[in-house]
Structure 1
């Protein structure tokens, strides 16, 4: 079967459905006395591009500079889909105005990096596969 046939026979909803995964932050589970499980979801292509562009600047030397911390927090804000983090009472309790502010307050730096990595992987960014693809193009 060729690509055209595969695409024409495809269940569009299944093909375009964004991948999801649960991720437990064990430190917070222990601290809170219950499972602290985040619902992660891939970020759509256009939105991911917007997040990346918003967190990149061009320096005076013409080189692109990335604000990695803000990029990771923005990735979490879009990629963590638990409704609990939109709850105004929760935000108020932790003195946070947004989900992004809340994540900065309750998560450690390494946790933010790990979770952003999981969301990136769900969104199709896999380091090993990307490295292999670059090497193949070079050769």
Structure 2
């Protein structure tokens, strides 16, 4: 059942949440607003959803639901820095195409506790070249353009 009106949630609380009133999943509250919505990081899907607080259930961290490890991890490609204006859509599409290939392996290199994000290196099975390396060129292209036209 949805949260009762007297239940109080805080940023950082673990909760169960639903976006379709049928399927429940585990989440962490990242933000609460005055309009009755919470921004939830769904730890088994890896996405962020804006959900009405009434569709949250509180959980204590030691409950059975949290004895299973997270199935999704917040990651960034190691040594790749997002451009100030964000990634162009063609680069996003290329990255998405790379991720849709089968047999990808991720190596976790570092975990930043402050930002709660892992740096990863992604490799296609059998390849010596990383997906990270494929995207370094876009950083260089943007740097050159910034120097030429900046």
TM-score normalised to the size of structure 1?
0.25
- Larger CA Rg, structure 1 vs 2: 2
TM-score normalised to the size of structure 2?
0.24
Structure with the bigger percentage of helix? 1
Structure with the bigger percentage of strand? 2
